Amino acid sequence: MYVIDTTLAPGSRISPDSTLQRLVFALPAAIQAKVRKDQRKLLGKDAAKQAPLPWDEHGLVTYSFLRTSRRSQPLICDRRDEPLPRRSRDQLRVGQRVRLSLRQVPRLGKPRLGTVGSTRLEVLKVQLPLVDAPAGKGKPASPHSIQTVKMPLPVDLLQEVERLAEADGWSVSAWLRNAIESQVSREQGRIGTNRPAA
């Protein structure tokens, strides 16, 4: 299993209108070396020398899958590993930062006469580190979905907020938003402005 942080390269196509979906991404050099080593284990030393690599000359991997196939379709999830509903997958586009979980598998079927076997990289999970899945019906909106809040803070206060946000596993802006909403809610309760109108 390999986990990489990368961006989707031109040629990627995730569209609800298309049956064939495609992810194109660069494979870091360190992972390429690991894949080569694992390829020798899967195919054997001699076969691996002749086997084609699962990326092109620019280090780009192309992974295609059918939108209707559960077997080849990767799990697409938000930064907290919550699966993204189909309507939210339009956020997956060229230039999008992603964290991919991959595995190397031998290609199915017998190799053609005079050729050796080969392997391919399979994408198991696509995680969008800057996206949160929308709240379901009846669920409160997630404070983690707030991505940017422009609020100048003194350096010492900002450092404390960063420390607290990291301890809670939130972004700084989400933690601030939650703290502000909690304070407003407490103040409304204290002065009695949160009661329903008669």
Phi, psi (5° rounding) for residue 179? -65, -40
Q: Are residues 12 and 95 in the same domain?
A: yes
User: Does the reported pTM lie above 0.75?
Assistant: no
DSSP letters, 38-85, are HHHHHH-HHHHHHSPPSS-TTSEEEEEEETT-TTTPPEEE-TTSPBPP
Model confidence over 95-130: pLDDT tens digits? 888 999 999 888 765 555 444 567 888 999 998 887
Question: Which range of residues forms the domain containing residue 180?
Answer: 143-191
Q: How many domains does the chain have?
A: 2
pLDDT tens-digit readout, 31-72: 999 988 888 888 887 777 778 888 898 999 999 988 887 778
Q: Are residues 148 and 107 in the same domain?
A: no
